C-alpha cells in the first residue's frame, strides 16, 4: 500500500450494504471490470460517471454490511476507488477488503466531509487531512497481525512470502 493516498471524496451514509454495492443479479461473474460496471447502481445510477480513478469513498457506520460476497470490494476497487474510509465497517467486508488489497480505514472523516472534497490519507501517520475543509482526522491503527497482510498486498500474497 502507498503511504499517501490522495483523492476526491464520494460521501455515503450508514449501513451501505453489499446488495447495493453489487446486486446479486450480477453475481454470475467475478470479472472485476464487469462488476465495476454495476457498482453502487442501486444507490446511485450515475456512480460510474461521477467516479474518477483515485477517488475515495467516505462513509458512515457499518459500511459493507450483509453478504460475504468478495465481489463487493472487487467492484469498488475495479471502479477506480483508491480507498474506503468509514466510521465503522461490517466485519466480513473489512476482512475481504484487506484480503484483496483494497485500502480501508476506520475514521470519523464522514463528519464534516462532503462529496468532492479533496482528502489525503497518510497511512503511517494514521491521519486524514481534508484539504478542502482544512480539517484533520485520526485513523484507527491496524493490529500488527493485519499489518503483515496489508503490507504483503493481500492474504494470498502474504502466504507466498
Partner 1 sequence: MNYIENILASASGLRSVRAGSFVEAKCDVILMNDITGPLAVKQFLSAGRKIKNPKSVVIVCDHFTPNKDIKSAENVKFLRDFAKKYKVNFYESPTGVEHVVLPEKGIVTSGDVVIGADSHTCTYGAIGAFATGVGSTDVTYAMLTGKIWFKIPEVFEFEYDGKRGKFVTGKDLILYTIGKIGVNGANYMAMKFSGSVISQLPMDERFTMCNMAIEAGGKAGFVVPDEKTRKYIEGRGKRKSRFFKDGESFKKMKINVTGLDPVVAVPHRPDKIRRARDMNRVKIDQAVIGSCTNGRISDFAQAAKILKGSKVKRGIRAIILPGSQKVYQQALEKGYIEIFLKSGCIIAPATCGPCLGGHMGVLANEEVAVSTTNRNFVGRMGATGSRVYLASPYVAAASAVAGRIISPEQL
What residues does 154 pair with on adjacent strands?
A: none
Q: How far is the CB of 73 from partner 1 (least distance, A)?
A: 8
Question: Which residue number, 22 or 119, has a Cβ lying nearer to partner 1?
Answer: 22
Question: Which residue number, 2 or 31, has a Cβ lying nearer to partner 1?
Answer: 31
Binding interface with partner 1 (CB under 8 A): 15, 17, 19-20, 23-25, 27-30, 42-43, 61-62, 65-71, 88, 90-92, 95-96, 99-100, 143, 145, 154-156, 159
Contact 85, 128 (CB under 8 A): yes
**What are the E-state strand segments in 12-157?**
56-59, 83-86, 104-106, 118-122, 127-130, 135-138
Task: Return the C-alpha cell found at 135.
Answer: 480539517
Q: How far is the CB of 77 from partner 1 (least distance, A)?
A: 13
Question: Which residue number, 67 or 139, has a Cβ lying nearer to partner 1?
Answer: 67
The label of the residue with cell 484539504 reads 131
Amino acid at each position: 500500500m502507498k503511504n499517501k493516498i490522495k483523492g476526491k471524496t464520494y460521501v455515503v451514509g450508514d449501513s451501505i450494504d453489499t446488495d447495493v454495492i453489487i446486486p446479486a443479479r450480477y453475481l454470475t461473474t467475478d470479472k472485476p471490470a464487469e462488476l465495476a460496471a454495476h457498482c453502487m447502481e442501486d444507490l446511485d445510477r450515475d456512480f460510474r460517471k461521477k467516479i474518477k480513478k483515485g477517488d475515495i469513498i467516505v462513509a458512515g457506520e457499518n459500511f459493507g454490511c450483509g453478504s460475504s460476497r468478495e465481489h463487493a470490494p472487487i467492484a469498488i476497487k475495479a471502479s477506480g476507488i483508491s480507498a474506503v474510509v468509514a466510521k465503522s465497517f461490517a466485519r466480513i467486508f473489512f476482512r475481504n477488503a484487506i484480503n484483496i488489497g483494497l485500502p480501508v480505514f476506520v475514521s470519523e472523516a464522514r463528519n464534516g466531509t462532503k462529496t468532492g472534497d479533496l482528502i489525503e490519507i497518510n497511512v503511517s501517520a494514521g491521519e486524514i487531512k481534508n484539504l478542502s475543509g482544512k480539517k484533520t482526522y485520526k485513523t484507527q491503527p491496524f493490529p500488527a497481525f493485519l499489518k503483515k497482510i496489508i503490507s504483503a498486498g493481500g492474504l494470498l500474497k502474504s502466504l507466498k512470502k
